Amino acid sequence: MFFPSRDIVDSVKKEYPSGTRVELVSMNDPYRDMPTGTRGTVDCVDDTGTIHVAWDNGCHLGVVYGEDSCRKLHTIKTICYGKEETWDCKEDAVAFFLQAVAGSEGAECERYKRILADLAMGMDICTDEE
């Protein structure tokens, strides 16, 4: 079994802090059938570089350094009518708010357009407030 160096483990811990959203790329585990693309939230990274994840499907499996792989998701937070929502990717948020604009009018439509403008500018936190 391969154990990564302290520098590698520290690097993994820095890149995947607790709360980071990830998507599974591959898992080399003959006893588990984890589908590629499964998303989850990092619990912690242990001293072997294993990224422990609470997967959205209810599983709690680690992504083993050198065996498995996952990718970090670039999450977006929107605040609309005071309600915060976290999106795993910008594209999902844009699709939602485009549909909201199409189905609304007046002041409500303007709120959604402000969020879309923030998303278009690449902001990580997008709000309906002026």
**CB-based contact 15:9 (threshold 8 Å):** no
Average pLDDT over residues 71-90: 95
Local confidence band at 3 (pLDDT 50, 70, 90 cut-offs): confident
Environment class of 14 (CB within 10 Å of its CB; exposed 0-12, middle 13-18, buried 19+): exposed
Both 66 and 113 in a single domain?
no
Q: Taking the model in full, what pTM does it have?
A: 0.78
Residue 64 above 80 pLDDT?
yes
Residue 14 domain boundaries:
6-72
Average pLDDT over residues 78-82: 96
Local confidence band at 1 (pLDDT 50, 70, 90 cut-offs): low
Tally of domains in the chain: 2
Query: CA-to-CA distance for 20 and 28, rounded, in angstroms?
Result: 22
| Span 104-115, pLDDT tens digits | 999 999 999 999
Compute the mean pLDDT over every residue in the chain, rounded to the nearest whole number.
94
Both 68 and 80 in a single domain?
no
Q: Given this model, what pLDDT does residue 32 score?
A: 80
CATH of residue 36: 2.30.30.40
Query: CA-to-CA distance for 93 and 50, rounded, in angstroms?
Result: 30
